[in-house]
Structure 1
Amino acid sequence: MLRLQDNQGRTFPYLRLSVTDLCNFRCNYCLPDGCEEHHHKESLTVDEIRRLVTAFARLGVEKVRITGGEPTLRHEFNSIVTTIKQIPGIQTVAMTTNGYKMDQRIESWLEAGVDAINVSVDSLDARGFETITGHNRLQETLSGIDKGFELGMTGFKVNAVLMRGHNADQLPDFLNWIKEQPITLRFIELMQTGDNQDFFNQHHLEGSTVRDQLLESGWVRVARHKSAGPAQEYFHPDYRGRIGLITPYSPDFCEDCNRLRVNSLGKLQLCLFGDQGYDLRHLLQNDEQQPELISRIQNFLQLKQDKHFLQNGYTGGTATLAQIGG
């Protein structure tokens, strides 16, 4: 069987696929001035997405996460989900969303075939949420999560970018929220990008500050599944929910890398903070190109480095996380 393996021996069962670089939020850590530049109308078509994911599935990819920007701004979003879901070998179709109109739309997402949802909730305080995101939409996001549970979802992952001066003091509120709900709350270290240097310097906080509080309170780290994301997860017997920490500045962060990224224009990104993407779109125009597409993906993978260089202040070609979905 074909599979994706790099020169470090890492295998890649997980693809993060951006379907648009357009976002309608103005998060202070990503797009504080809004999405002024985007290529939404030039995004991969549904047929191009089908051919792309088919090739990755033949190479052993089992899980696809649909990202953006905000992926649900694609009017074909549900068709994209259904198309990917039907590709042989794909076991899980996940999505990441900012929660926009989630309370109204989640039922259609699940009907289309979404298996797992990551949603951003950077603060449980309505005023704090609006300060961070530029939108007074906390309640519709929380209502969307509640509706998901009513519709039979067994768990959500909720992302919160950890930031000094915004939500670093809200751990007790978050813990109280997940005590009786099967939510995996993931604190993500604020990452430096090409245009947020000053913000990063002011608000970055190491994830170890949360980890230490958890360990002191009886939380225990759990083993990581092969197709899971980069979070280190912790559980506590008194809580239904879990806590995950994504700490890209830790020295061993890249050792277990298991995911590749393709942006909305069809460029393979070997690392979120790599210098460039490798164009695949010209090989997505008909089904007969599959052998060449598969070969090209395998060859490009051999260029993947063993680590990123964020700790040195090097952010590669990533100006904002909306470019490729984080």
Structure 2
Amino acid sequence: MTRLIDGYGRTFPYLRLSLTEACNFRCSYCLPDGYRPDGRPGFLTLDEIRRLVRAFAALGMRKIRLTGGEPSLRKDLPAIIAAVAATPGVDTIALTTNGCTLPRHVRRWREAGLTALNVSLDSLNPARFAAITGHDRFADVWEGVEIAQTLGFASVKLNAVLLRGVNDDELPAWCEYLRDRDVSVRFIELMRTGDNQAYFERHHVRAERLEADLREAGWMLQPRARDAGPAREYAHPDYRGRIGVIAPYSKDFCAGCNRLRVTARGDLRLCLFGEFGIPLRPLLQSDDDFDALVARISMQLGLKAAGHGLHEGRTGMTPHLASVGG
């Protein structure tokens, strides 16, 4: 049973751990000008990650998602996966990636202990994909996803950010893709961040519109698993795959929050759009600080707010999603 419970009765069996802020894509909704190093201290080391995950597992954390930036830029990613997989109590190790290195590395990640995979794929149209990401790498991502489906992952999910006037007409193509594939596509409502206001105003489309179209086409909302992510998942008897919808602007979205975040430099974030971070890195330098680390983590849950401030235009400390890990 998890010992991570906040003042609103929410429990937290799920940690999103960023491994890097760097990314090799230039997605229009996140890092349109590319990643630019800021000279701050480096990202968490393997030993620091090992100590961090051990502490969260001691508090009941069962699912760890490795994120970025782009986590596959870390040369020690297989070792990180193996270290997380070896942590007592952790039973799900997931990875979110832009997918461009999948053909070369996904087998090795699976052998290291990775159990679930999420791949960003914002369009099934190669030209649109290149326009959104700034890179003509659709073929690599497609090949990697096809390989991943043969490796026995517990789940393979594809993430597509909904963009008005860019890719919001692709639901029929996605449905056809899912007809015979045991994968899930997750449509993510574009979120306002600190540096994308103009882009947000041009391209934001409410996810509820998509959900209405799904229900009209016979897709049915499924029960939500305890350690699931924020998506509302739909299934259809005529399709092998599923569709998830992440709608951060929907009513009561935050009521089901079950995840915490740690940045690539070791700050605990209680909310993706929170106003502050709690530094954990000073307590990650020695195994002798384990009890203090566990105490610091568990004491912070009383500070978690009931919900984000996106409806009021408050984006907190998040300049772009790569800075926190989404």
Q: What TM-score do the two structures reach when normalised by structure 1?
A: 0.98
1:145 to partner: Cα distance:
1.1
Residue in 2 aligned with 1:146?
Answer: 146
Asked whether the equivalents of residues 122 and 160 of structure 2 are also in contact (C-alpha less than 8 Å), the reply is: yes
The letter for the 1-side match of 2:296 is R
Q: What secondary structure, in the 3-state scheme, does the structure 2 residue paired with 1:225 have?
A: coil
Distance 1:123 1:221, change over 3 A: same
The letter for the 2-side match of 1:113 is G
1:88-135 deviations in whole A, cap 9, x for unaligned?
A: 000010000001221111111101111000000000000000000001
Structure 2: gaps (5+ residues): none
Question: 2-side partners of 1:52 and 1:178: how far apart?
Answer: 37
The letter for the 1-side match of 2:36 is E
Structure 1: gaps (5+ residues): none
Question: 2-side partners of 1:323 and 1:169: how far apart?
Answer: 29
1:1-326 superposed matches below 5 A:
3-38=3-38, 42-153=42-153, 155-326=155-326
Question: 1-side partners of 2:93 and 2:152: how far apart?
Answer: 16
Distance 1:248 1:312, change over 3 A: same
How many residues are paired up?
Answer: 326
Asked whether the equivalents of residues 188 and 247 of structure 2 are also in contact (C-alpha less than 8 Å), the reply is: yes
Q: What TM-score do the two structures reach when normalised by structure 2?
A: 0.98
Asked whether the equivalents of residues 2 and 13 of structure 2 are also in contact (C-alpha less than 8 Å), the reply is: no
Q: What secondary structure, in the 3-state scheme, does the structure 2 residue paired with 1:150 have?
A: coil
1:299 to partner: Cα distance:
1.2
Distance 1:292 1:41, change over 3 A: closer
Q: What secondary structure, in the 3-state scheme, does the structure 2 residue paired with 1:161 have?
A: strand
Asked whether the equivalents of residues 21 and 264 of structure 2 are also in contact (C-alpha less than 8 Å), the reply is: yes
Question: 2-side partners of 1:47 and 1:189: how far apart?
Answer: 35
Distance 1:92 1:224, change over 3 A: same
Question: 1-side partners of 2:162 and 2:272: how far apart?
Answer: 19
Identity of matched residues, % = 51
Of residues 162-171 and 144-153 in structure 1, the stretch that sits farther from structure 2 once superposed is 144-153
Asked whether the equivalents of residues 72 and 101 of structure 2 are also in contact (C-alpha less than 8 Å), the reply is: no
Question: 2-side partners of 1:23 and 1:39: how far apart?
Answer: 16
